Amino acid sequence: METGIIIIGAGPGGYETAVRAARLGQQVVIIEKDRLGGTCLNAGCIPTKCLCHTADTLEVLRERGIQLDSEELAKAVAHKDETVERLRSGIAMLMKTPGITLVEGEAQFVDTHTVRVKTEEGEQVFTAPHIIIATGSTTKFLPIEGAHAKGVLTSTEMLILTSLPKRLCIIGGGVIGIEFASIFCSFGVEVEVVEFMKEILPPFDRDLAKRLRTSLKKRGITFHLGAGAKAINEGEPMRVDFEEKGKLQSLECDMVLMAVGRAANVGALNLDDIGIKYSPRGIQVDEYMQTSVPGIYAIGDVNGLCQLAHAATFQGYCALEHITGSASSVYQDALKVIPSAVFSSPEAAMVGATEEQLAEAGVEYRSLKSFYRANGKALSMDADDGLVKLLVSPDGELLGAHILGAHASDLIHELALLMRMGGKVGDLAHTVHAHPSLSEIVLAASEA
């Protein structure tokens, strides 16, 4: 079968690009071997946020002295499953957009314009002048003894638990590790985090990361920083061996979460035979998301540029513009300003440069701060833990923005827009903000 565009993978990048392409008059075949929505919907962004919401509610109730029964996790998982199914059904409806053909099966390149798909009904072959690879990523495992032992779970498996361990060890203090640490602490689990770097959330501003760690520590989470996991030993209890400050140490637990990142999912595509260049980081692409083979593009986690669902979507739009011959710098510029968030309690969010990056580059800047504890809405919500931190050039340009506190993931977008449009912090200071609202913390920082 001949078509205009083949998209391999129906995660956020894949299905959003398919819908936009179809609305532009393109004929699209989109191939998915697992479930619509990809990792984000089925085992990442959405299900973890469902559990985060329940965990936040538990924290509020606990602060008010309300005790809950031990079945809360099962109830939270049921809510998560219902939410995911509703969203998956919505994507299925989108896949019925005129011009889109959804094929369920595993894809493999035959040549640079041909893809073979193994389906339950047999093999199907599709050809197109343009192909977009959007196959996402898979869980990484440390190359240590016991990494695949019984009782070692990935984030995917953590999301289907219906009973709680008493003690949980999380190997990895990145976004995935910190979100699960926060969630399971709220459910009453004893959590210890083993992180190889000197601070949690390595890509984030160190000041913000330290403040978040301090907040999580007050909630009862134990951290081992600069600690390299050496081995995981099965048994009851399990034992995790790690080296911290030059000394070999161990901790006992009932379950281990392996949260050391994700790797580009390229294994079954047959890339070597068609000459697509890639590395352990991911498939190499240019500014239009085009690979080393003209006409073939790679978007999302599989190219390793930015492992965020919203980045995948905009990368898909960038590739589509190039495919349709309407390429401009709009999406390339947009992809220079990508906000990110951690849905812990409290939340953390950032956009732009960190203090460490600016200092290393020798860039002159000022740091402007305001605090949740001075905001009326935050106090009314019992959410006085947090701050807004703006990094500003001498002429008022916003170089980076960092928020720790309630609804940080929502508040960051005003600052992302300011950066995207090239505005000055003074523009923010002269914009009226509703009272009482958390957005006034952002306003206060701009006036600091």
Beta bridge partners of 241: 231, 250
Q: Locate 364 and state its tokens.
A: 């002159």
Choose among 98, 86, 109: nearest CA to 36: 86
Rounded Cα distance between 390 and 22, Å, is 41
Q: Locate 153 and state its tokens.
A: 């779970």
Q: Are 406 and 341 in contact (CB under 8 A)?
A: no
Choose among 438, 394, 439: nearest CA to 414: 439
Beta bridge partners of 283: 278
Helix (H, G, I), strand (E, B) or coil at 352: strand
Q: In angstroms, what CA-CA distances link 173 with 161, 200, 213, 224, 417?
A: 21, 5, 10, 9, 29
Q: Locate 206 and state its tokens.
A: 């160190």
Using CB atoms within 10 Å of the CB of residue 391, give its burial: 0 to 12 exposed, 13 to 18 middle, 19+ buried. Answer: buried
Helix 12-23 and helix 309-323, axial crossing angle in degrees, nearest 10 = 30
112 sits in the region (left: phi over 0; alpha: psi -120 to 50; else beta) called alpha
Residue 60: alpha-carbon gap to chain centroid: 25
Pairing status of strand 255-258 against strand 152-153: parallel
Rounded Cα distance between 180 and 78, Å, is 17
- The residues that are catalytic are 435
Q: Under 8 Å CB-to-CB from 218, ≥6 apart: which residues?
A: none
Using CB atoms within 10 Å of the CB of residue 94, give its burial: 0 to 12 exposed, 13 to 18 middle, 19+ buried. Answer: middle
CB atoms within 10 A of CB 400: 22
